[in-house]
Structure 1
C-alpha cells in the first residue's frame, strides 16, 4: 500500500502547541488556506471560504517547527492525512478529526525570505576519547610510539 501525500499552502493560524512525553515530542498547529479567484465581470479578486487544517509534526521536525513558526507566517506543509479518533471525557462521545501528519514544513519563499540554520549535533561526552587518544592507543598496541603535538611521525625500527 502506498501513502498519498498532500501539499497545503497557507498561513499559520495558531500558536504552535509543543508537547513532550517519555522523550517523544510533537507539535500541533493550524494552517488556514483561503482560495482566491479573479472575478472577470467585476475585475476584482474574490476570496472563497478559508479551509482550516490541523498539522501534526513529530520528533526533530516538531522541535524545528516550535523554534521557527509564528502566527501569520506563510508556510508550505507536506504530509499524509490521518484520522485521529478519541473519546471525549466529558460527553463520552467518540470524536474524530482529520490531521495532516507533516513530513516537511517550510516558509513559503514566494512571500518572503528566511535564513536556514542547521540543527546542532549533540556535544561529545567527556568519556569519549579524542581522535588523538585513539590513534596513540592504537599505535601503542602496534608497537609504535605515538607522536606528541608538534612532533613529526618517525617510524620505529625493529
Structure 2
C-alpha cells in the first residue's frame, strides 16, 4: 500500500521491447529524464544530469506502448518506483525501474491523435447473455451463472 508513485517527464531512449508472457503482454523501454536549469552566467538554459529509468508496462498498456512509442518521443510516465541494488561479480549496481500505470505523449512538444484500441474478440470466449436484473435468480441459476463466470475468467486468463 505504501508505494512510491512517481511522474517522470522525459524522452524514449530505446525502442519498446514487446513480449507475450504467460501472465499477459509485457513491454519495456528506457526513459531518459534530463534536468534543465537556467545558467545565470551564460544567460541560457543548460542541460543537467540525465537519469535513465527502465519503464515496464503490462497488459493492454504494454500493447499500446509498443504500438505508439518510438525513440526520441517526449513522454510522461506515471507509475510505481522500484529501486534495486545488487552485487554481481564483485561489482554493485543500482537499477531504477518504473512499473507504469499510465504513459502518454507530452503535448508540450507536439500533437498526438488518440485512437481507441480495438477490442479483441476471441472465439474461445462464449458470448454471455445479459443477466436478468429484475428478479432474483433461483439456486440453480446462481450455480449456473457462477460456473459460466468461472469459465469466462479462465478463458480470459489463458
TM-score above 0.5, yes or no: yes
Aligned residues: 129
Change (3 A) 1:87 1:45: closer
The runs of 5 or more residues in structure 2 that have no matched partner are 130-158
Q: Which has the larger radius of gyration?
A: 1
TM-fit CA distance, 1:86: 8.2
Stretch of structure 1 that moved more, 3-12 or 79-88 = 79-88
Deviation at residue 83 of structure 1 after TM alignment: 3.9
TM-score normalised according to structure 1 size? 0.69
Which residue is equivalent to 1:36?
A: 36
Q: Please, what is the CA RMSD of the aligned residues?
A: 2.7
Confirm or deny that 1:109 pairs with 2:97. no
CA–CA distance in structure 2, aligned partners of residues 125 and 58 of structure 1: 23
SS at match of 2:65: helix
After the TM superposition, which segments of 4 or more aligned residues of structure 1 sit over 3 Å from their partners? 83-88, 91-96, 123-129
What is aligned with 1:59?
Answer: 59
CA distance in 1, matches of 2:63, 2:126: 27
Larger relative strand fraction: 2
Unmatched segments (≥5 aa) in structure 1: 132-158
The aligned counterpart of 2:134 is: none
| Higher fraction of helix | 2
